[in-house]
Amino acid sequence: MQVVLKYQEYPEATVTLTTSHDDPDEMVTPELTVDPPKLETLVKLALKQEISHGHYGHIVEFIKPTTNLDLQSAVRKLKAFEFVSSTPSIYPNPNFPPEGAVS
């Protein structure tokens, strides 16, 4: 999955979060890419300061393990970033969590 954001403080900055698969519920650590690269430290700091909740209500830290569904949901709520796109769009698995699961 790939999520693209614009950093509102520097509109020329494109932030891309890429994961290794498209499964909505498997844990994955997003890879962060910032263009231009000179803004990467600033973008990482801005992401650390944001608190956003994912689809399942988990707090998402954007450079730590999360699920694609939580990531896609959380980026849409960021104040310092504008959501541009998510490819592919991830939807909840209707069979998740399995019957009898306790959270």
Q: Identify whether 98 is part of a domain.
A: no
Number of domains in the chain: 1
Identify which of 100, 99, 95 has the alpha carbon closest to the alpha carbon of residue 24: 95
What does the pLDDT read at residue 101? 61
Residue 72 is part of which domain span?
A: 2-87
* pTM summary value: 0.84
pLDDT tens-digit profile of 42-95?
Answer: 999 999 898 888 887 888 888 889 999 999 999 999 999 999 999 988 776 666
Q: Identify whether 40 is part of a domain.
A: yes
Local structure of 69: helix, strand or coil: helix
